[in-house]
Amino acid sequence: MTMNTLTGEHFINRELSLLAFNERVLAQAQDATAPLLERLKFICIVSSNLDEFFEVRVAGLKERAALTPSLLSPDGRSARQVLHEIEPRVRRLVDRQYEVLNREILPQLSAQGVRFLRRNHWNEVQSKWVRDYFFRELMPVLTPIGLDPAHPFPRVLNKSLNFAVELSGCDAFGRSSGAAVVQAPRSLPRVIRMPAELAGCEYGFVFLSSILHAHVNELFIGMTVEGCYQFRVTRNSELFVDEEEVKNLREALQGELSQRNFGDAVRLEVADNCSERMAGFLLQQFGLGEEDFYQVNGLVNLVRLMQIPDQVDRPDLKFPAFVPGLPAVLAKSNDLFAVIRKGDVLLHHPYQSFQPVIDFIRNAAQDPQVLAIRQTVYRTGTDSMLMEALIAAAQAGKEVTVVVELMARFDEEANINWSARLEQAGAHVVYGVVGYKTHAKIALVVRREAGGLRRYAHLGTGNYHARTARLYTDFGLLTCNEDICADVNEVFTQLTGLGSASHLRRLWQSPFSLHSHMLRAIRLEAAHAREGRRGLIVAKMNALLEPEIIHALYEAAQAGVRIELIVRGACSLRPGVEGLSTNIRVRSVIGRFLEHSRIFYFRNDGKDDVYLSSADWMDRNFFRRIEIAFPILDQRLKKRVLNEGIRPYLRDNQQAWRMGSDGQYVRRVSGRGRPVTAQAVLLASMAK
């Protein structure tokens, strides 16, 4: 079998696979054994994922359909075909999402004293409180816009909450356009807590949309409001910056960010009470068709409900709290550099604390023996102790170099702000390499010690982001291994300077060697199998899409290699196809934490090669990003990676889903065996 013999039927469509992932996320919200407020979070996560799906994937498909309609994806579909196939599937997903919310989660929360008070159920006292809130907090910041030749349809921000109002009668100037738009202020919360003594329960909430609905007539005195309808438009959110042409990427990006909110519309969401006339009018204003129109039974922006669990102090309705643990070697010593000199340190987040990573940079910033610190930044958040430590190090006169990825989607603004602060503190700030996103997670510290300079490094599978380190599963390695540190130094030299790429001793790096090394490792496993030796590949990642890697896996499977793939999200490989991939199994684990670590294991005739990486098996990670995969060399730590990052997931029979050759997923059940939940097992063994 060659790459040329693979046809579209050998691949699963990326967008359909992404929707299958969101169906698995929704199943978490449907799980009656999960805490109620956590189920609500999963509802919100589905909405957030769908927002990005439309902003990026659907927007891209629409562009492709318009510009290159004959171009086919690896699965043999045109963009127009994909758009046609995903529409009914998204509709079914959204309908189920609102059904679970309205019929299960909200009624059960109400029974627990967490209620969303609808306007048709307000009593007299509650109505008065709402009226006072409207006049005190809401009305002063509202700007109703009547639609007539002098007031064209306003520019509506991406994903903002708006109201289309149907009117009759004439205003003070004798105008009667029949329609107006009211934009909800972004400065106000979408869900407001009512005092418990008025709500009749401990946690009573009122939607901002309900408050405006109840008093919208106050905005149009002398006219009659015939209807008031929530709506929300989703827009293309890709940024268009020609990195080859601009002189200052940061300045160009700052100018482009403001336009992200006004990209081409790709989806219109309205509440289910919206009139047919108004729906048609809105579609016309945004240049959308019926296929882009979604009428929902409830709020048009469920993502805003994500704030509710933080406002409700009910531990019994949430996952049990935990305190991340520490590796024993760190718990016994306060001298982090001394610990690393004795041996590599492996961290497994969120089960183990992210604090040692912060301490690594903070201690380096304070240590007079440290001369230089280098770090990459992809996502770090608006409030970051790591960034503050780097700023402090620069202010203390250390050589601080930070490679900031300005094009990290949806984190551009935070990264721009950090880059400005770092520069003001005296740090060297660079933006990587034109045309390639810097996605590698690496940090390097140079320290003066007896005998000369010594380098220490941190390499990770996840971002330098303390908050997501509590929510995402990731591995990090602290090491002073000379080969690895020399490689990390070389990667930084590439990112900050000019010159040809040097050969790396231990790391595999995109866009130069990661793809070829992965292919070589897969093919070596196939060669072992053909020679009668046991072949085994286990890989864990977020997405598997790259055709040449898929082809190599098919060939290895046919050679007799057993292949276990743990792919959280989109997967284009078809497992279990007779004569093609019968030796390949694909599973996805969806649970309390977002599975984010990338682990690649090759048995290699008993050598047990283990690599951790920032890269998924996708075209962009191999060819359009700066990525690294780093080996685990310590045998003890290698066993830890397998025992913590692989084996529990292969045994999971509660939150694992098995993928069929048709791309459909079936949830594994324990049957008569002992129930195993990988994340629960790891929490019990490592957290406090």
pLDDT tier for residue 553 given thresholds of 50, 70 and 90: very high
pLDDT of residue 195: 96
- Among residues 536, 533, 524, the alpha carbon closest in space to that of 600 is found at 536
The single-letter DSSP state of residue 10 is: G
d(CA 509, CA 495): 12
Q: What is the pLDDT of residues 431-486, one digit of tens each?
A: 878 788 899 999 999 999 998 999 999 999 999 999 999 999 999 999 999 999 99
- Calculate mean pLDDT across residues 374-396: 90
Query: Do the beta carbons of residue 59 and residue 266 sit within 8 Å?
Result: yes
The single-letter DSSP state of residue 138 is: I
Give the three-state DSSP class for 455: strand
pLDDT tier for residue 258 given thresholds of 50, 70 and 90: low
User: What pTM, to 2 d.p., does this model score?
Assistant: 0.93
215 labelled catalytic: no
pLDDT of residue 174: 55
CA-based torsion, 516, 522, 525, 531: positive or negative: negative
Give the β-pairing of 656-659 and 584-589: antiparallel
Instruction: Name the percent of the chain lying above pLDDT 90.
Output: 79
pLDDT of residue 668: 86
Q: In sequence order, what are the residues at sequence separation of 6 or more whose Cβ sits closer than 8 angstroms to the Cβ of residue 331?
A: none
CA-based torsion, 640, 645, 651, 653: positive or negative: positive
pLDDT of 239 over the 60 cut = no
> What is the tally of helices (H) and strands (E) in the chain?
23, 27
HEC string for 195-230: CHHHHCCCEEEEEHHHHHHHHHHHHCCCCEEEEEEE
pLDDT tier for residue 172 given thresholds of 50, 70 and 90: low
pLDDT tier for residue 411 given thresholds of 50, 70 and 90: low
pLDDT tier for residue 360 given thresholds of 50, 70 and 90: very high
CA-based torsion, 214, 215, 219, 222: positive or negative: positive
Q: How far is C-alpha 321 from the geometric centre of its chain's CA atoms?
A: 23
- Calculate mean pLDDT across residues 168-175: 63
pLDDT of residue 618: 97
pLDDT tier for residue 145 given thresholds of 50, 70 and 90: confident
pLDDT of residue 275: 94
- Calculate mean pLDDT across residues 568-575: 97
pLDDT of 231 over the 90 cut = yes
Better pLDDT: 257 or 189: 189
* From 215, 348, 439, 515, the catalytic residue: 439
Q: What is the pLDDT of residues 6-54, one digit of tens each?
A: 788 999 999 999 999 999 999 999 999 999 999 999 999 999 999 999 9
pLDDT tier for residue 596 given thresholds of 50, 70 and 90: very high
Query: Do the beta carbons of residue 552 and residue 622 sit within 8 Å?
Result: no
Distances (CA, A) of 386 to 134, 237, 369, 383, 518: 42, 28, 19, 9, 32
pLDDT tier for residue 562 given thresholds of 50, 70 and 90: very high
Q: Which domains does the chain have, with CATH numbers?
A: 3-317 (3.30.1840.10), 328-504 (3.30.870.10), 509-686 (3.30.870.10)
pLDDT tier for residue 118 given thresholds of 50, 70 and 90: very high
- Calculate mean pLDDT across residues 231-246: 66
- Calculate mean pLDDT across residues 59-72: 93
pLDDT of residue 247: 43
pLDDT of residue 244: 42
Query: Do the beta carbons of residue 193 and residue 166 sit within 8 Å?
Result: no
pLDDT of residue 177: 66
Q: Mean pLDDT over all residues of the chain?
A: 91
Phi first, then psi, for residue 18 (nearest 5°) are -65, -40
Instruction: Name the percent of the chain lying above pLDDT 70.
Output: 93
pLDDT tier for residue 251 given thresholds of 50, 70 and 90: low
* Weakest-pLDDT range from 186-190, 363-367, 394-398, 456-460: 186-190
Q: What is the pLDDT of residues 273-291, one digit of tens each?
A: 999 999 999 999 999 999 9
Better pLDDT: 375 or 150: 375
